[in-house]
Structure 1
Amino acid sequence: MLTNTRSDRVKAVRALSRRSVRSRTGEFLAEGPQAVREAVAFRPELVRDVYVTPEAAERHPAIVEAARAAAVHVHEVSPEVLAAMCDTESPQGVAAVCRTLDLPLEVVLAGLPADALVCVLTNVRDPGNAGTVIRGADAAGADAVVVSDASVDVYNAKVVRSTVGSLWHLPITVGAPVPEILDALRERGIRLLAADGAGTTLLHEADLTGGHAWVMGNEAWGLPAEVRDACDDVVRVPIHGHAESLNLAMAATVCLYASAEARRTSRPD
């Protein structure tokens, strides 16, 4: 059992809380049983090490068994060591060092179906919002999530936790400038729908047939005019009550589910 909170291994894992270290090593830390379970189940080839306390090993034996079956190194650690490794105060007894999983934009677009559903995050800065949008995209059956260069790092610990494992379920590409993303999607034949409170098209009026991408803006200022103008339509989620607006994650999930339902009814049985 690893018990020394000042060991080089512990320091190296803890250092993954810094974006510069994640970028240099190509690794990040997934914390909590749900995230580690999904990583081991869906992308075990990307899991380098699993760290688990004795109590968590007894509580989540399936995670330990799956990791070992996939030839992933499993290390038993004291609760103090795990706390020293992790970003959260209560890491729930299990964490995993994983290799980054994003793919180049052209690779992701090449694998899309004709009626692709894509979510584009432009200048999204809040980790919780970004992670929740990825989770919502996964739940709605989206084919990919595209995260622009000015957005939060998807390997930020809070983003990873907020995806609740969905990070490993669908293709993700990061780092391209917004104009490049929009041009690449359009060349692939994917229509661009800007989700913005300034839209004149209401969600229930929008054409959600065929391949399309929802373009989501910054939490505070939404989408700039040049991005809205570059899209094929600007769509607004109607507010029927007294709420001023929906936050980014809520609006994205509503839009994605509307598209999922349109695609479900248009596909042959």
Structure 2
Amino acid sequence: MILASTPFWMLPASGLAALAYLLGALAGARLSDQNVRRLMWLAWASHAVALLGLLAGPVRFGFAPALSVTAWLVVTAYGIERHLFPQLKARWAMGVLGAAAVLLAWVFPGNLLSSLASPWLPLHWALGLSAYGMFAAAVVHAWMMTRTEHDIRQGHEADSGLPLLTLERLTFRFVSAGFMLLTATLVAGALFGEALYGQGHGRWHWDHKTVFALLSWLTFAVLLIGRNQWGWRGRRAVRVLYIGAGLLLLSYAGSRFVLEILLGRAG
């Protein structure tokens, strides 16, 4: 039933994106670096077209499109980083992440949004999704940092292609950017909640989304303070990052998943 409601124009773009992502991830060792880059850019562009398809005509959104936008932002960050650090090796992770996100959004395209309470609401969503993307990129880099540290301890060459300190620095740059975006999202919701979501919403709407978002903000604040004041790094910093990212995932995507899939409600 959910699949039947998927906009027909998403199928070719989503299929092409998923195929290109998977080919770039699985066949990367058999192809030249230039051809793999072309595949990843084809996947990135097709992914963008699939996302824009959700905004054409009746607008749809939900937990899966939110995750798909997040994955697209992570792939975008990876593409930029590849220009700065050509030795970066995360193609397999990007391919699998992108393909999974595209297919998930195709199967679960979200609910129709009949109207928006405010023309500023899309900007509020954009801030929140950008925060999702930055923290997701931080999680990917933290994962690579953990693998690199393990490789160093085992005396092996690092799979990521980047030095450990470079990965650590990039990880916290993404955390800092995500924290600023998340702060802006929460401040906008607190100050302009009624203007954004309509009458009766109030400045603070204490639902699961708000509670988990605030808990994640506090977790990331503790992480940044611990980093700056006490020099947190390595496994301790990564664990706190994972906790904050998990709470943030539960805030919007998690609450929407429960509403759309488990409860079958559009609200």
TM-score (norm 2): 0.33
Q: Which structure carries more helix by proportion?
A: 2
TM-score (norm 1): 0.33
Q: Which structure carries more strand by proportion?
A: 1
